Amino acid sequence: MTTGLDQLRDLRKRGLLEKAYDQVAGVLAQEGPGGARADTAAVGRLLAGLDPGAVLSHHPATPVVTVAVTGQSTVGQVLDPLRGELARHGLLLRAVLGEHGTYLRDLTDPAGELHTAAPDLTLCLLDAETVFEQVPGVWRPEDVEAAAADVLARCAALADAAPGTLVLNTLPLPWTYSRQLIDHRSRARLGAVWREFNARLLRLTERSPAPVVIDLDPLVAEGGPVTDPALARYAKVRLGAPLLAGYAREVAHLARALRGATRKCLVLDLDHTLWDGVLAEEGPDGIAAAGTLRGEAFGAFQTCVRQLASQGVLLAVSSKNDPAEVARVLADHPDLVLREGDFVAVNANWDPKDGNLADIARRLDLGTDALVFADDSPAERAQVRHGLPEVAVVPLDGEPATHVARLLADGWFDVPSLTEEDRARNGQYRALGERRKLREGSGSHEEFLRALDVRLETGPPQPHEAARIAQLTLRTNQFNLAGGGLTEAAVAEVAADAGRQVLVARCSDRFGDNGLVGAALITEAAGQWHLDNLWISCRVLGRGVEHAFLAVLLSRARRHGLTAVGARHVPTARNHRARDLYPSCGFVARELPEPGEHGDGTSAYLHDLLVLPGIPGHICVTESGKAPR
């Protein structure tokens, strides 16, 4: 059987790897025997010879992730698995590697290579020697505690100085240190000191949005020894290959999330996926998710899925079954943890599953690239991969005890931080169904909008909304006027900049609160505003919210004595729906201030604030501190 790695080797041999880089993610998504995937370190070594410029010349839209890597010991070995993991998600690595043991200089020198590279992520890989190099030759647990406190203070300072998003890690404690203490009481004391240090390191993320701390303990538990003794002694490679492979996977998930590529909806098969048995053949009494050894494994999988849903992951069903039978089972089968109300869509029929997934995405107003599909059938998975290659596919098999691990392995739903809007998302999408019913029962679209009772609140964001602003800007693709987004740290930087600001829009209607659905990034200079970007959640498109928000922004600018508002539209693969917004609100096209520099189709606009657009009549707008208008 030809593996994905074999196919990549063949492309390299024929000199086609750069030209075919857009196919790499799909090749690596193919399943090996038993659903196995390619060794990403081997993939990374194969891709290390790529010419990034050649890749971008063939595929200029390929997302490039600049990663700076430094650390306490020799850490360059992380680049191969990281390059492979990023390739699995369609990302191209641009790496900047610091010198051995120079992480303090690398992270604090503004003129250094790591800073000037302007990395998206800065990986600072630490290990036990980071602490133990500061303890005396003959030591006690108290000496380790003092050294750990110094390292923690250093890490807190680095979080504010490092370029890009700083990624730290907890420090595994090798048994060779604890066994140097011959009494069990001292060993226990050292273990407590070490765990307290790692806990405080993890809590750095509560103090500031800038750092991310990856907990290595779960990876060590899965991957075996922390290091190879010979490599640690002679080459100063203190974190072993299995651990670095797991770490690289976590970093790739983080990079994907920071680019707004988090998936939103988990679509599940039913037979041998949510329950044991085949409903159409064995009937409701013949399926189980409790009461038997295999049934308990399916119940554990449902519990895991429900946990994901509680954090905003949308759940849907695509199953080849009779819809009435499925409805009855989801309503009252005694074994089930999940019920019909937990799903925003249930497609039970005998149609091809790629069509069912496309239908689910359409009904939820999502792109199909927002879906994750989990199924135990290799044939169904292959059919979806062929028909909808942008859908992430989770390969389940005949062993339900592995379902949870397989679902969670790729972190498809990982986000930098969780917001209250996330937790309320399932309710919001159920309200979407109620809105659809209202629209279908209305005589016209205008009648529907009037009956919807849309209310829009605009103004500066609240301090606690930084995480939601970051999430909205990073995950919005369709109504993202200039492409890109803001991290939570970038939102904080804007808040501290007197010449820039973010204004937001919150929306509600008769069916409930949609939360924060819009944001505008504004720069003020020479008596004018410039809309650097404007984002509107796809959940509220088609209701006039985007026009109302822009009308309020223009009115606010004139009230503040400004003379004009400029804006740009930078076309992306997904934002064509937004290209007419500025002209429709009275903006006039103008020449770009840097002619010839934009070969990407960028359009520049200016509004002179003389004649302002009106707010759609069906929307009631409230500005911060002002009465409704």
Cα–Cα distance for residue pair 404/406, rounded to 1 Å:
6
Cα–Cα distance for residue pair 390/396, rounded to 1 Å:
18
Give the pLDDT score at 33.
63
The answer on pLDDT for 414 being more than 60 is yes
How many other β-carbons are positioned within 10 Å of the β-carbon of residue 563?
12
Tens-place pLDDT, residues 99-150: 878 899 999 999 999 989 999 999 999 999 999 999 999 999 999 999 999 9
Six token digits for residue 74: 């020799």
Tens-place pLDDT, residues 351-364: 999 999 999 999 99
Q: Read off the pLDDT band of 600 (50, 70, 90).
A: low
Element (H, E) at 620: strand 619-623
SS3 content of the chain, % helix, strand, coil (to 5): 45, 20, 35
DSSP conformation class of 614? P
The answer on pLDDT for 192 being more than 90 is yes
How many other β-carbons are positioned within 10 Å of the β-carbon of residue 189?
17
The answer on pLDDT for 45 being more than 60 is yes
Cα–Cα distance for residue pair 145/147, rounded to 1 Å:
6
Q: Read off the pLDDT band of 596 (50, 70, 90).
A: very low
Percent of the chain, pLDDT > 90? Answer: 73
Confidence (pTM):
0.86
Greater confidence (185 vs 432) lies with: 185
Give the pLDDT score at 537.
93
Cα–Cα distance for residue pair 131/151, rounded to 1 Å:
7
The answer on pLDDT for 627 being more than 80 is no
The answer on pLDDT for 455 being more than 50 is yes
Q: What is the mean pLDDT of residues 3-26?
A: 91
Q: What is the mean pLDDT of residues 254-278?
A: 94
Give the pLDDT score at 232.
84
The answer on pLDDT for 253 being more than 80 is yes
- In the chain, the domains with their CATH numbers are 63-258 (3.40.50.1110), 265-408 (3.40.50.1000), 420-623 (3.40.630.30)
